[in-house]
Amino acid sequence: MKTEEIVFDVKKLNLWYGENHALKDIEFKIMKNEITAIIGPSGCGKSTFVKTLNRMTDNVSIARTEGEVLYHGRNIFDEKLRVEELRTKVGMVFQKPNPFPKSIFENVVYGPRIHGIKDKKVLMEIAERSLKHAALWDEVKDRLNDNAYGLSGGQQQRLCIARCLAVEPEVILMDEPTSALDPIATNKIEDLIEDLKKEYTIVIVTHSMQQAARISDKTAFFLMGDLIEVDRTDVIFTNPRDQKTEDYITGRFG
Amino acid sequence: MDYQEQINIKKIKKEKTNINKKQNNYTFEISRKRINNRILLNNILKKVFSLSTVFALLVLGLLFYRIAIDAKGWIDLQFLTSNLSIFAEKAGIKGAIIGTVWLMLIVAPITMSIGVITAIYLEEYAEKNKLSAFLKVNISNLAGVPSVIFGLLGLTVFGRLMNLGSSILAGGLTMSLLVLPIIVVSSQEALKSVPSYMKEASYALGADKWTTIRKVVLPVALPGILTGSILSLSRAIGETAPLVVLGIPTLIMKYPTSAMDNFTALPIQIYYWTLDAVLTREYANLAAATIVVLLAILFLMNSIAIIIRNKFQKRY
Amino acid sequence: MRKEYLKTIKGMENQMLEMALKSEESIEKAMKSLISRDLELAKKVVDDDIIINNMEIQIEMDVIRLLTLENPVARDFRRVSSVFKIITDLERIGDLAVNIAKLSIEIGEEDFIKPLVDLPRMYEMVREMLSNSLKAFVENDMNLAIKVAEKDDIVDDLHLQINEELLQMISKNSEIINQAMKLMFISRYLERIADHVTNICERIIYIETNEVSKHEF
């Protein structure tokens, strides 16, 4: 029996955007080397929750949090913890592909560069490894100095994934990574995600229940700031415990 | 629901669609008339707009024509390279050109450095509260203050208080005050135009604020900042009122060699020659010629600004 | 709210219930034809079976369409997949009714070797089982489904009893073997119908509990 390691242990997490109580008493464990999908109707807090895990919510001035989020036992809200360090361990890929207006190479090595790696050879190795990992190397190896904006949407998203992988995170957070892409690009990225699961822990927010059902091991259902239910994906989609979960996945609302 | 009910519902639906069809024929005729009216309106407006553009260009063209007539024959190498003289034919604007260049050498670095840093502070670091909003409003108000007031301020503070008289330093510092708010505002706009998702990507990779500004925001905002700066400086080149208030002369004995020396500038030349044109007819020609030179410089600077902007116009 | 989708599922279930009613009718007519020697009625059962078969095909196509296009999950999926399996049982029940009707025709004008008491009684039980199972489906009544399934044992016992009796009669008087065999078959067919009804009850329990294992009743 495989002992599962807890990567994130969320304890009574509450978050307010000003007066709006966006996350209510969230209790949740995210396990290593699993793909955890987060589903729920618009505005239910799923994006907010994921952004809390790498403290991107710090950038929102009216955001206020209470409760604990333990990353391998350490509370990420601890004052002594450097948020920049957290973000190298917990990376993020966004909904709309957002490469920098730089070359493909510069995009991938941005992370390592700002964390002090200067050696051109080392950077080249990192770039090659990350792009291969993101299933993009073959398509761009001959044009690493081209501007990233020349790539298609799906390629740009894979570039963003490569950029994220270059800092060697443990966790990859994905906020609706394929919602701006066509079905073929979506497929490629889903394959990539399933592949990445072997080495990384992945949390993916998705508005597509089929996507959650296809690729995730665990699924969490959020509704209006509450975590209604979290369980193995096959259980959620065949026989969920909560009636609200069932109503949502069968399209009774949302 | 049994079959009889289903059949009844189908009948009712069919009747409804038939009614809608009849109404549609009626509404179709009305919209045709409306469309024709709109097309007519569009054509009229198009003529009005192009007419007003033509009118504006006409006025501008008239202005240029008048100046060109007066300047004709007076612009040559001798004009650009000689110093002033009582004899109008021998007079040149070399001193004014050197003075203007010295001015810019002071104004440009001061305003661009302070201006951009201020803009970065206001856009990236300042907390979004009432105080910072108040600051921002006041800075943009300053951009609209009449330049003669800056001249008075410069006279009091730089000219008298700091005892700089009418030196290049006094003129340069005064002009800097004039130009600074404009550069701050335009740099702010350039910084604001950097999409937040780009900054988010940098933060998500573990970058701190200054690194993000240095490596992501500034490279993207730089063309905008440059464009704004060049446009602001080109405005400064043409400002006359502050220089007059400061007492910048039109006649100087020797060319300036340091920032504490006296100087003269192109706008001042134009001003005094125009004043004295009442006495000496030729001065009008000299003024016109200087205007042409000044306009040419302005044109050049603005073109550079536009080229920079167009070249770096990003597709995001 | 997926209006059309919910309407489609409901429509499919209604179709299945109509098919069930037709199967019920077939058994009723078959047994009636046996008891009241109405050979015309028996023939009608045989002719009308094709209607039941066509209904199965139609509903099956609708189910496949719904599964591929609408992606039902959880309870919706259990309902739809159960419809898929129940129509098979209903079609088999229809076939068994045809078998009974055919035997009724073969017995024809013969006098009965014994007054029919147990067979009608067995039919009554089976009829009630089928009727209640459909009621349990419509009302989502898992307990009723369990109760119906438990009755299967009684039907099995009755079948054994009828068999015993007929075998004894055959051993005493071998001339009646023809009709006796036919009656034994009819009893067997009724017992098989009860088995199929039990399958339907299993499906109803699955919809409620998400458990597919064969239950002990």
Share of residues in chain C with pLDDT > 70 (%): 97
pLDDT of A116 higher than 70: yes
**Helix, strand or coil, per DSSP, at residue A103:** strand
Domain ranges of chain B: 1-71, 77-311
- d(C-alpha B65, C-alpha B208), whole Å: 57
Q: Would you tell me how many other CB atoms lie within 10 Å of the CB of residue A187?
A: 14
Identify all chain A residues contacting C74, using CB atoms and an 8 Å cutoff.
237-240, 246, 249-250
Ranges of chain B whose pLDDT falls below 50: 1, 315-316
Residues β-bridged to residue A171: A90, A201
Q: Is C214 a member of any domain?
A: no
Q: Is C15 a member of any domain?
A: yes
- Sign of the dihedral defined by the CA atoms of residues C169, C175, C178, C179, in that order: negative
Residue of C nearest to A245 (CA): C74
Q: Distance of alpha carbon A161 from its chain centroid, rounded?
A: 10
pLDDT score, position A1: 42
Identify all chain A residues contacting C77, using CB atoms and an 8 Å cutoff.
238
Residue of A nearest to C3 (CA): A252
User: Domain range spanning residue C67?
Assistant: 3-209
pLDDT score, position B315: 47
Contact A37, A220 (CB under 8 A): yes
Picking from A213, A250, A253, the nearest residue to C76 by CB comes out as: A250
Picking from A85, A94, A149, the nearest residue to B201 by CB comes out as: A94
Contact A88, A55 (CB under 8 A): no
Task: Give the closest residue to B271 by CA, choosing from B103, B93, B68, B144.
Answer: B93
Residues β-bridged to residue A201: A171
Q: Total structural domains in chain A?
A: 1
- CATH, domain range B77-311: 1.10.3720.10
Task: Give the closest residue to A159 by CA, choosing from A185, A137, A143.
Answer: A137
Q: Distance of alpha carbon C84 from its chain centroid, rounded?
A: 15
Give chain B's radius of gyration (CA, Å). 30
Q: Is this prediction's ipTM beyond 0.90? A: yes
- d(C-alpha A15, C-alpha C149), whole Å: 52
Mean pLDDT of all residues belonging to chain C: 93
- d(C-alpha A93, C-alpha A179), whole Å: 12
Identify all chain A residues contacting B214, using CB atoms and an 8 Å cutoff.
none
pLDDT score, position B22: 56
At A186-240, the pLDDT tens digits run 999 999 999 999 999 999 999 999 999 999 999 999 999 999 999 999 999 989 9
State the best of B205, B213, B220 to mutate against chain A, taking most chain A CBs within 10 Å: B205
Share of residues in chain A with pLDDT > 90 (%): 92
Chain C within 8 Å of A209 (Cβ-Cβ)?
yes
pLDDT score, position B316: 43
pLDDT of C101 higher than 70: yes
Residue of B nearest to A162 (CA): B205
Q: Please give the backbone phi and psi of residue B54, each rounded to the nearest 5 degrees, phi first.
A: -60, -45
State the best of C3, C75, C140, C211 to mutate against chain A, taking most chain A CBs within 10 Å: C75
Q: Is C192 a member of any domain?
A: yes
CATH number at residue C199: 1.20.58.220
Q: Cβ-count burial of A170 within 10 angstroms (0-12 exposed, 13-18 middle, 19+ buried)?
A: middle
The A20-31 sheet, strands edge to edge:
A20-31, A6-17, A63-71, A74-75
pLDDT score, position C211: 86
Q: Cβ-count burial of C131 within 10 angstroms (0-12 exposed, 13-18 middle, 19+ buried)?
A: middle
Start-to-end Cα distance in chain C = 38
CA distance, residue A117 to nearest chain B CA (Å): 14
pLDDT score, position B29: 63
User: Domain range spanning residue A228?
Assistant: 6-249
Start-to-end Cα distance in chain A = 38
Both tokens assigned to B153: 């301020």
Identify all chain B residues contacting A54, using CB atoms and an 8 Å cutoff.
204
Chain A: which residues have CB within 8 Å of chain B? 54, 56, 59, 61, 84-88, 91-92, 94, 96, 98-102, 110-111, 114-115, 149, 160, 163-164, 167
State the best of A210, A236, A239 to mutate against chain C, taking most chain C CBs within 10 Å: A239
Q: Is A254 a member of any domain?
A: no
Q: Total structural domains in chain C?
A: 1
Chain A within 8 Å of B193 (Cβ-Cβ)?
no
At B215-257, the pLDDT tens digits run 999 999 998 999 889 988 988 888 999 999 988 888 777 788 8
> With an 8 Å Cβ cutoff, are A249 and C73 in contact?
yes
> With an 8 Å Cβ cutoff, are A110 and B219 in contact?
no
- d(C-alpha C154, C-alpha C96), whole Å: 19
Residue of C nearest to A239 (CA): C74
CA distance, residue C81 to nearest chain A CA (Å): 12
Against chain C, the chains showing at least 3 CB pairs within 8 Å are A
Q: 3-state secondary structure string, chain B?
A: CCHHHHHHHHHHHHHHHHHHHHHHHHHHHHHHHHHHHHHHHHHHHHHHHHHHHHHHHHHHHHHHHHHHHHHCCCCCHHHHHCCCCCCHHHCCCHHHHHHHHHHHHHHHHHHHHHHHHHHHHHHHHCCCCHHHHHHHHHHHHHCCCCHHHHHHHHHHHHHHHCCCCCEHHHHHHHHHHHHHHHHHHHHHHHHHCCCHHHHHHHHHCCCCHHHHHHHHHHHHHHHHHHHHHHHHHHHHHHCCHHHHHHCCCCCCCCCCCCCCCECCCHHHHHHHHHHHCCCCHHHHHHHHHHHHHHHHHHHHHHHHHHHHHHHCCCCC
Both tokens assigned to C102: 């055919």
Give the residue-averaged pLDDT of A247-253: 90
> With an 8 Å Cβ cutoff, are B205 and A61 in contact?
no
pLDDT of A43 higher than 70: yes
Alpha-carbon distances of C51 from A65, C21, C47, C169, rounded to whole Å: 66, 12, 8, 38
pLDDT of C198 higher than 90: yes
Q: Is C215 a member of any domain?
A: no
Identify all chain A residues contacting C1, using CB atoms and an 8 Å cutoff.
251-253
pLDDT score, position B1: 44
Q: Is C217 a member of any domain?
A: no
Q: How many CA atoms lie within 13 A of A85 on its CB side?
A: 9
pLDDT score, position B128: 81
**Which contacts qualify for A235-241: CB closer than 8 Å, 24 or more apart?**
A237/A209, A237/A213, A237/C73, A237/C74, A238/C73, A238/C74, A238/C77, A238/C210, A239/C74, A239/C75, A239/C210, A240/C74
**Helix, strand or coil, per DSSP, at residue A65:** strand
CATH number at residue A40: 3.40.50.300
Identify all chain B residues contacting A55, using CB atoms and an 8 Å cutoff.
none
Chain C within 8 Å of A101 (Cβ-Cβ)?
no
